[in-house]
């Protein structure tokens, strides 16, 4: 469904020193920097699959998503989604796709959601029956029935995000790009959005790419993850595998009278090292744990490999 090969994107930006002097200098002689937002990435995603795209800010996640959604042209490389080149912006493609950005509102701010939906109904040429069914179904599962006639700007952030999700899914897209859908939401709203996405995925089996900084989102929704670092993929595989990569590591946390320290050791050394620690320190507390997924992913993001 989604096939990406050797996709690259570079941005050229101008830099200037701060202040008036810097501005004047930049007027005469400009310095440019070229930033490689994507350095030749490859990716295959099948129907019904949902993948989690993670990485630090500026790692290239959003750029990748924007290319696949047809907003940005790539510098080089190939990509097809449902057989279409996204940046050619074929209407047939756009009718089957949606992009949800947690940071950018898409429903009309000053209008009740239902009015925005009517506009979308026209834009996507959704037939009356499907439209009614979908509004009914989505409002029900997202529990926003009572908010659809209120001006969007009067809704809480959580309610607004749910309305955004509704708006994006009205035409029942086969490809969904979700860019940080839970950003800024409180825990219960996050949970509601996650539960919704999970059941939606189960029911309609779209291809979904989800980017998020909340590990909970990823753990709940994505059996497969792709980790990005500085425009490249450093990991692409099952989430469970990440945990197994560290199956033979243990995290130790030791509290002595003076301080608390943490470190990671191989499972085989566990007995010897703990004995050593007890012998050399006045231990108050000792904790042995498996490394958490968060730790592992953070380490992959930072070092490019696991620990």
Partner 1 sequence: MEFRLDFTFRIVMDLIYYAVNIAFFKVLFLHTELIGGWTSEQMMVFVASYLLVDAVNMTVFSTNMWWLPFYINRGELDYYLTRPVSPLFFLSLREFAANSFVNLLVAMGIFIYAIANFSGPWGLANLAGLILLLINGVLIYYCIQMLMIIPVFWTQSARGFVDLFYTVGIAMERPDRIYRGWLRIFFTVIMPFALIASYPSRVFIEGFDREVLLHLTTVSSGLWFVMLGIWKRGLRNYASASS
Residue 66 vs 229, nearer CB to partner 1:
66
217 token code pair: 């989102």
User: What SS3 class is residue 128?
Assistant: helix
Q: Which is nearer to partner 1, 106 or 299 (by Cβ)?
A: 106
Which chain residues interact with partner 1 by CB under 8 A?
Answer: 11, 62, 66, 69-73, 89, 91-92, 94-95, 97-99, 101-104, 106, 123-124, 179-180
Least distance (Å) from partner 1 to the CB of residue 115?
14
Which residues, other chains included, contact 231 with Cβ-Cβ below 8 Å and sequence gap of 6+?
36, 37, 38, 39, 41, 59, 60
* 97 vs 246 by CB, closer to partner 1: 97
Q: Among residues 101 and 138, whose Cβ is nearest to partner 1? A: 101
Q: Tokens 């219960």 label which residue?
A: 188
Q: How far is the CB of 87 from partner 1 (least distance, A)?
A: 8
Shortest gap between Cβ of 197 and partner 1 (angstroms)?
Answer: 19
What are 238's strand-pairing partners?
224
**What is the spatial distance between Cα 136 and Cα 170, in angstroms, rounded to a whole number?**
10
For residue 259 the two structure tokens come to 């301080």
CA 188 from centre of chain: 19
Q: How far is the CB of 249 from partner 1 (least distance, A)?
A: 35
Shortest distance (Å) from residue 73 CB to partner 1: 5
Nearer to partner 1, 37 or 242 (CB): 37
**What value does the CA radius of gyration of the chain take, rounded to a whole number of Å?**
24
């Amino acid at each position: 469904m989604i096939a990406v090969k050797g996709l690259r994107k570079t941005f050229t930006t101008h830099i200037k020193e701060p202040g008036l002097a810097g501005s004047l200098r930049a007027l005469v002689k400009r310095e440019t920097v070229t930033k490689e937002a994507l350095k030749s990435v490859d990716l295959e995603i099948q129907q019904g699959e949902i993948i989690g795209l993670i990485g630090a800010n500026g790692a290239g996640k959003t750029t990748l998503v924007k290319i696949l959604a047809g907003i940005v042209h790539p510098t080089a490389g190939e990509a097809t989604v449902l057989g279409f080149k996204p940046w050619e912006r074929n209407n047939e493609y756009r009718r089957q796709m949606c992009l949800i950005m947690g940071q950018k509102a898409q429903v009309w701010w000053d209008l009740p959601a239902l009015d925005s939906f009517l506009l979308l109904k026209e834009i996507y040429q959704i037939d009356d029956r499907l439209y009614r069914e979908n509004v009914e179904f989505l409002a029900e599962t997202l529990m926003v029935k009572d908010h659809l006639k209120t001006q969007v700007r009067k809704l809480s952030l959580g309610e607004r995000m749910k309305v955004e999700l509704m708006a994006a899914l009205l035409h029942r897209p086969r490809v969904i790009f979700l860019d940080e859908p839970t950003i800024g939401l409180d825990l219960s709203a996050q949970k509601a959005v996650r539960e919704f996405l999970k059941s939606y995925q189960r029911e309609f089996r779209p291809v979904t790419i989800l980017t998020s900084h909340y590990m909970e989102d990823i753990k709940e929704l994505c059996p497969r993850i792709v980790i990005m670092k500085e425009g490249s993929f450093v990991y692409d595989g099952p989430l469970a595998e990440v945990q197994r990569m560290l199956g033979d590591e243990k995290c130790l946390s030791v509290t002595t009278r003076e301080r608390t320290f943490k470190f990671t050791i191989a499972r085989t050394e566990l007995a010897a090292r703990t004995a050593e620690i007890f012998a050399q320190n006045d231990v108050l507390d000792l904790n042995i744990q498996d490394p958490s997924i968060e730790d592992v992913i953070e380490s992959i993001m930072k070092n490019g490999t696991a620990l």
